[in-house]
């Protein structure tokens, strides 16, 4: 199996900006990265290894949520979140990294017009691993705005743009 690379990108006029990237390695490991080209020391990422080990890291600090989960292989059942991140036009523009579609296995393209401002509309992007017949486990009453499934192998990767419910 060759590595699969997926981009979450935002179309802003004629420009396409990279917001999140998800990679499935040959060994079965999944990595979700939030590129921060203006400050590479941040290195925000989540990793879900073929062994079942999961963690989130940032700023070179010790792992957050360091835990073991079920293995992400053909026996995977249900759903597990890899990464969930708030997304606004301001955040995307501050990252400012161009997305070149030909560099990716697929691009989950979003429109800047669909993103909330974080106050009146609170939008998130989530990357989830799901088994056949399962759905991502979003927050209760979330409104799915756009979703794309990548079913090259099990577990499947599902990328979702959703709006958080108002409280």
pLDDT tens for 34-79 read 998 888 778 889 999 999 999 998 877 777 888 999 999 999 999 9
Residue positions counted in the chain: 167
The Cα–Cα gap between 26 and 59 comes to 27
In 3-state terms, what secondary structure has residue 50?
coil
pLDDT tens track for 105-156: 999 999 999 997 777 789 999 999 999 999 999 999 999 999 999 988 889 9
């Amino acid at each position: 199996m060759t590595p699969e690379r997926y981009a979450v990108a935002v179309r802003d006029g004629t420009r396409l900006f990279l917001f999140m990237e998800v990679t499935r390695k040959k060994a079965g490991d999944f990595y979700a990265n939030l590129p921060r080209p203006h400050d590479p020391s941040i290195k925000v990422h989540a990793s879900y290894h073929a062994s079942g080990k999961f963690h989130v890291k940032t700023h070179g600090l010790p792992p957050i949520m360091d835990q073991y989960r079920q293995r992400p292989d053909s026996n995977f059942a249900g759903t597990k979140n890899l990464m969930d991140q708030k997304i606004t036009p301001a955040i995307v523009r501050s990252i400012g990294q161009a997305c070149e579609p030909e560099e990716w296995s697929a691009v989950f393209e979003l429109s800047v017009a669909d993103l909330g401002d974080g106050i009146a509309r609170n939008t998130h992007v989530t990357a989830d691993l799901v088994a056949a017949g399962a759905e991502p486990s979003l927050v209760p009453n979330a409104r799915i705005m756009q979703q794309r499934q990548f079913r090259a192998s099990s577990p499947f990767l599902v990328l979702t743009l959703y709006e958080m419910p108002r409280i």
